[in-house]
Structure 1
Amino acid sequence: MVASQGFAEFLREQLAPLGRVTMRRMFGKTGVFCDKLMFGMVTDDTLYFRVDDQNRAAFKEAATSPPLSYEKHGRTIDLSFWRAPERLLDEPDELVIWARAALAAARRVAAKREPTHRTVRRLAPPALIRRL
């Protein structure tokens, strides 16, 4: 379920110190973005943050639930998003600290990905594009 209007506005306000935070519906959930990077996800007005190898341990320690997942062909697929501790919603400064860690994880994940053909077309000079 996507984020309610009220919860989305609350998050935008709380996460404003990160920069311009936007939200977009995705696959029945709401993606939370900053600098065009998805660092969070909301489902049923529950916030999940992006994790990677560098910040996963902190989420495991504070987790009150398993990572966000879905079923596909009888298998459970874990997404790299873990539920933010509920107490953070009452502690704005700490929420921003956790959000910055999630944004850093999103940057690291994005840096590991190879550029797509579409990205190459946007970045490459026209002479190189003709050779592609």
Structure 2
Amino acid sequence: MASSLDFVEYVCGQIGGAGEITYKKMFGEYGVYCNGKIVGVICDNQFFVKKTEAGAAVYPDCKEASPYTGAKLHFVIDSVDDRNLMARFISATYNELPFPKPKKKKVPEKE
């Protein structure tokens, strides 16, 4: 079951205190970004955040699960209602994650 756009927008609104929150449709589900770094995914109307030590320190009792078969364990966020907690949690996660590696430009083949 694909996630609803309403749920995605609600989650992004709730975590907005962490920075510039955006989302991108990916394989029928959604990637969630904070200031350009992917911090989590939304699959089947469930919010999953990448595991970090900083995130665990802010939200120590968070459950873990894989968002899809073959994925690494993520934190499973059951409720995003506490905007202050979510902002601190996503900020801590963001700060620990590396920036994505720049994509190499494709060089056209010479004939």
Shared fold, TM over 0.5: yes
Higher helix share: 1
Superimposed CA distance per residue, residues 54-107 of structure 1 (whole angstroms, 9 cap, x where no aligned partner) = 34755995233423341xxxxxx34253212x24x221111111111221233x
Q: CA deviation at 1:37?
A: 1.1
- Whether 1:117 aligns to 2:110 is no
Q: Secondary structure of the residue that 1:90 maps to in structure 2?
A: coil
Match of 1:81 among 60, 63, 74: 74
Assess if the C-alpha contact under 8 Å between 1:40 and 1:49 holds in 2. yes
> Residues 105 and 9 from structure 1, CA distance in 2 versus in 1: closer, same or farther, beyond 3 angstroms?
same
Normalising to structure 1: TM-score of the pair? 0.62
Moved over 6 A (4+): none
Q: Secondary structure of the residue that 1:32 maps to in structure 2?
A: strand
- Whether 1:101 aligns to 2:100 is no
Partner of 1:90: 81
Assess if the C-alpha contact under 8 Å between 1:68 and 1:82 holds in 2. no
Partner of 1:64: 63
Unaligned stretches of 5+ in structure 1?
71-76, 122-132
Assess if the C-alpha contact under 8 Å between 2:23 and 2:33 holds in 1. yes
Assess if the C-alpha contact under 8 Å between 2:58 and 2:92 holds in 1. no
Assess if the C-alpha contact under 8 Å between 2:17 and 2:87 holds in 1. yes
Larger-Rg structure: 1
Partner of 2:30: 30
Q: CA deviation at 1:10?
A: 1.1
